[in-house]
Structure formats: C-alpha cells, structure tokens
Structure 1
Amino acid sequence: MVNRRDDLLDAAITVLGEGGMRALTHRAVDAAAGLPAGSTSNYFRTRDALLGAVIDRFVARERAVSEEIVARHLPTTAAEVAAALVDMAREQSGPHRTLTLARYVILAEAAIHPPLRAPLLAGGDRVRAYFLNWLRLAGSRDPERDAPPIMNHFVGLVLHQLAAPDPAFDPTAEITALVTAVLRPA
C-alpha cells in the first residue's frame, strides 16, 4: 500500500540530507517525491508543520535502522561492542548516509529552534537505552559514565566521515581501542 504522506516525508528527509535546511521547501519536496506542485502543502500547510512531521518520520526511520543493527549484534565483550559500533558507523556513513546527514541538519536546526528538541531527544533516548544495555552486557560497571565518551567519539567519527568521505574508511582500530580502554577491567 502506498502511503503518500510517508513518501513525502521520505522525500523531505532526502532533501534535507542532500541540500540542508535551506533546501527544505514544499516545492523541493514535491519535486523529490515526483509529485505535482502543491502535493506537500496539501498535507503540511506550513514549513513548521512539515518539519515537525519530518522529525517524527526521521526518528521512526532511524529507530528501524538501529533495530536492524541491534538485531545483528548482542555484544557481551568490549570487542563485540566495538564490532557493533563499526557496523553502525559503516551503515550511517554508507547506505544510510542521507538519513544520517538529515539527522545532523535537524540537530543543528534544533539548536536555534527549541521546539524541535523534544522529539529528537525522545528518539535519541531509545538508541541510548540500547547502547547502555550493550555496555552492561559487556561488563561495564558504570554504563552511565562509560557511554558518553564512546558515543560522543562515535558521533564525531561518523560526522567526520560524512564531511570528508574517505573511500578507505575503516574505523575498526580506532573504535576498538577506545571501547577497550573505556571498558578495561578494573
């Protein structure tokens, strides 16, 4: 079944990921979706309505990608946590590059448009919960302490790969060294 609303929102995510916030217009979304002019405004009368719906759709799509990756991994060691993060970094900077770029565009917009923060934080909380569980399973004595340096480094690593793509991108050694150092036995 075709869901035109989701098609429009997916097209809007593509517009954001490929052109940034300034590119997000009703007309650009219509064009990206291959639909007649005015289609997007029939569903979303204002840019704010469009952006709010885009965030909801974006969070749902990112959750699906995260759950797909989580289903492939149940890490119980630091090395397995690192392998899962390497997989995630490759997914986010490769096949899901446009979705990841859209996330960064939306995050930057949320910095100056506070009403966008709540749905983004709720989506991020779900990913954080998965990650904290991974750290617990891998033996972390304090996942709340251990998560931020790993997660923040991961975010920066992916952002760098998106900004300056390296065809030979292989974060295995870097991520493994960090996760092993943070989760080292006491």
Structure 2
Amino acid sequence: MATTRERALEAAVLLVGEQGVRALTHGRVDTAAGLPKGSTSNWFRTRDALIAGVLVWIAERERADLTAAMAPVQTPDELIDVLTGVLEDVTGRDAARTRARYALFFETANAPGARPSMHDQRSMFESWTSDRLALLGAPDPVLAARALLATSAGIIVNRLTVAPDAPIRPAVELVVRAALPPR
C-alpha cells in the first residue's frame, strides 16, 4: 500500500499533468489523493518544496522505467525498437507524467534551487544511447546520441500537443540509420 507521501506525489503529478502547474496546491493534492487536509503540507511545507518533491518523484519513476527499458541491444533494429517503445510509453501510458515534467521544468527554469538536477537522468540516457550507438559502429556516437535525444524531445512535444498519433518509429529509424555506417 502506498504511503501518504507517495499518494500525495502521485496525485500531484496527475494534477500538474492534467490541469497544469496552477493546479498544484497542497489542498488540491490532499483532495485528489483522498488524504486528510494538511497531509501534503506535512511532507512539503512550501509550494517550492512540493514542486521539488514532485520533480524528484518524476525523475525516480522515469529513471526506473528507463533502466528497465535499457536492455542490451545488438542490432540497429533492437535499438530502434527500444527507443520507439520508450517514446510510446512517455507519450501514451505515462503522458500525464511527461506533461507534468515539462510544465515543472518551465516553471522552475529561473529557480534552480527549487528543482533537482535532471542532468543526471539525461546523462544516464545519453550515455546508454551513445554506448549502444558505439557498439553498432557509429563514427561519432556522442553526437549521434544527442541528435537522437533531440529528435526524441521533438517527438514527445509533438505527440503531447498537436499530433498524439504521430508515428514514432520512422523518425527514430531515420536518425539511428543516419548515425551508423552503411551496411
């Protein structure tokens, strides 16, 4: 059974992901989580603390999901499959969480003390992607990984805003194949 803190954080993510950052109040989180009034503020005294807590929660969940998805790959097709699956999840099943992450990033862009470093999470995924591209023979795996992640970010924004059914695999495949020597 989820703890009071976990219930509050899960509710906060859904509130932000579905209603935007303005919906993130202690009272609304308590209500959405089915908690007694004041429960969320027991864990997160200020709104900045709540935002920071939500960002850490999102990062922890995404890191766990990415770690599970980051299976060893041996072929370009396997890499394309894994990346396509991750993008399908973050824009489908986990779309509210992804929208919450983006909204909170923009909300805290000028308050670096209010947000945890997402750099570590990005670095982990960039490193994994670069390593896989290197194993597949990419001449510049770091540049290729960055291009692939930039393309992925564009796909995410596109699917979460104007084209929820936009195909993922063709764009991922294009960038992966362009990063590798011809076979």
Q: Structure 1 length normalisation: TM-score?
A: 0.89
User: Equivalent residue for 1:51?
Assistant: 51
User: Equivalent residue for 2:142?
Assistant: 144
The 5 A counterparts of 1:81-120 are: 81-116=79-114, 118-120=116-118
Q: Identify the match of residue 80 of structure 1 among 70, 78, 83.
A: 78
Structure 2 segments unaligned to the other structure (5+ residues): none
Please report the RMSD computed on the Cα atoms of aligned residues, expressed in angstroms: 1.9
User: Equivalent residue for 2:156?
Assistant: 158
Contact 2:44 2:50 (C-alpha < 8 Å) held by counterparts: yes
1:113 shift after superposition: 1.8
Select the structure that is richer in helix. 1
Moved over 4 A (4+): none
1:185 shift after superposition: 4.1
Deviations 1:90-129 (A, max 9, x none): 1111111111111111221232222245522122222222
Q: Does 1:176 align with 2:156?
A: no
1:32 shift after superposition: 1.4
Contact 2:4 2:39 (C-alpha < 8 Å) held by counterparts: no
CA distance in 2 between counterparts of 1:184 and 1:116 reads 43
1:30 shift after superposition: 0.8
CA distance in 1 between counterparts of 2:2 and 2:87 reads 31
Contact 1:81 1:138 (C-alpha < 8 Å) held by counterparts: no
Moved more, 124-133 or 81-90: 124-133
After superposition, the Cα gap between the structure-2 partners of 1:48 and 1:116, relative to the gap in structure 1 and judged at 3 Å, is closer
CA distance in 2 between counterparts of 1:144 and 1:17 reads 31
Moved more, 116-125 or 38-47: 116-125
Paired residues, number = 183
Percent sequence identity is 33
Structure 1 segments unaligned to the other structure (5+ residues): none
Contact 1:52 1:116 (C-alpha < 8 Å) held by counterparts: yes
Q: Structure 2 length normalisation: TM-score?
A: 0.90
After superposition, the Cα gap between the structure-2 partners of 1:118 and 1:26, relative to the gap in structure 1 and judged at 3 Å, is closer
